[in-house]
Chains A and B, each alone.
Chain A
């Protein structure tokens, strides 16, 4: 559905994405994992056209259509929903209004109303607070609202930037439950996460990113049993190392 080939993104002269390629398969959940500063959000922002004049090199194909270098609103109109990092809800609008502005590009008013009802059934917490200012919601509710807003544009592909950011573990589980639910409705999902445990639980395909390139990728079940991934991302150590010697050695074999 979404094919990224060899993209390079620069912030001024600093190369942040070092020729990354990946594909998001239709109907699946694809997750990009990585530490702070690995380039995960940059990858998404590059796809969405949120960084000026980027990518410098490479192609991004959405359903066979090249979208690199296009303006964000045009990319959105192709049926991509985006939930930005830090949620970015309109704080002075109510929950309902926030959801309705999500349908900004749609002209079919009646269907918008139906979709609003349908989306609210996925987020019972939002339904209770439909008339409240979005700025007064908790972090988890704002995250749900941001997801709901993106869904209002009827996307075929939903892209989420760190949905677990700043949420309590219980809320993280809830949000990921909802993401899985959305995926079951036939919406393809690409998400970026630091919370590896959660990402492995929901994702079908996982890419691991370090310093602007992918170091490992594969089906989630396969990667999850990988010894390195278990140690470095899930914090499970099978055999104790002596003064971190093994850790050093293994890390070196990554690239």
Chain B
């Protein structure tokens, strides 16, 4: 099922007036939201924004360039720690954020070098090793507080006249919206199309004259850049970072997010991250659901260890992922496209 009539259509950012209208309406809602909802939901949205940023970057790498990374939590960790360190050293927020992201991108480019020789399972092992190694190395470094972690300075947002949570919400939301727009433009550009050519056939891409090694490394760097930004913001969100936060499980969840959302689509990254974050927060509450909760508790008590109830979250997440792959292989984006086809021009 495709709505595309030609790739030239893709070069435009807005396909028609309806889409422009809805986009601006959505941004308006985002801007006014803090005045209508509770602080807890603001922090949920902040967490969603962080996941959206990582998902955007990872999707450029996995969905558009056809490479794989099981170590994205490592990039997020690098972003978080370097951002925190730079801010502790007294650097203002924006330069610290960009510097942290650039550093992550540089490391991403280095990790991209093996991708020139390795594919599929082998590349996943390399990236997996990278993610694990980053955690261990950071846990050993005293600058970063070792295994106890380090605190991240609060931003000076008093000048906005807003409560800190609200101001932070705006920082996160604006960054996310900007990155979404940058991703859309990037994927429509010559660079994005080179990525997709490499994904579809790297031999064909090289024989039509695309510099494959250059673009593969570049894709890793871009992906790491996003993860670095997300990491830096993650530090601000948690106010305290420990190596344990950026676990292997986190990398897996990132990958699951983009598969759930839909590989190779920006909408998919956004939807996937929102749904995945929500599930992650809500599935733990399933024990409280009247009948189902009791069944799950009984199941957990008889088959799992004492911490079993927390694991239920992952079991359910897994089941939902399997369901999505079975019934909607294009992910949430596929679902979205189908809904959109129905409402395409409404109400114009």
Contact = CB atoms under 8 A, between A and B. Distances in A.
Interface in B185-204: 193, 197, 200-201, 203-204
Given A92-B200, A97-B7, A48 B207 contact: yes
Nearest to A49: B206
Interface string A77-92: 1000111100011111
Interface stretch (B105-113, B209-217, B270-278): B209-217
B117 interface: yes
Contact of B210 (A82, A83, A84, A104): A104
Contacts of A105: 208-209
A105 B194 CA distance: 12
Q: What are the nearest 3 A-B pairs in CB distance?
A: A105-B209, A72-B206, A88-B204
Contacts of A48: 207
Interface residues of A, number: 27
A54 B204 CA distance: 19
B209 A104 contact: yes
A102 B211 CA distance: 14
B212 to A, nearest CB: 7
A93 to B, nearest CB: 7
Given A84-B203, A84-B204, A97-B7, A90 B209 contact: no
B7 A72 contact: no
17 contacts: A50-B203, A52-B116, A71-B213, A72-B207, A73-B212, A76-B206, A76-B207, A76-B208, A76-B209, A77-B209, A81-B207, A84-B207, A90-B197, A90-B201, A149-B208, A153-B208, A153-B209
A150 interface: yes
Which of B6, B204, B207: most chain A Cβ within 10 A? B207
A104 B7 CA distance: 15
Interface of A: 48, 50, 52, 71-73, 76-77, 81-84, 88-94, 97, 101-102, 104-105, 149-150, 153
Contact of A90 (B116, B117, B200): B200
Contacts of A88: 201, 203-204, 207
Nearest to B208: A104
Interface in B139-198: 193, 197
Given A76-B208, A90-B201, A94-B6, 19 more contacts: A50-B206, A52-B117, A71-B213, A72-B206, A72-B207, A76-B206, A77-B209, A84-B203, A90-B197, A90-B204, A97-B7, A101-B208, A102-B208, A104-B208, A104-B209, A104-B210, A149-B208, A153-B208, A153-B209
Contacts of B193: 101
Contacts of A97: 6-7
B211 to A, nearest CB: 5
Contacts of B7: 93, 97
A16 B210 CA distance: 27
A242 B197 CA distance: 56
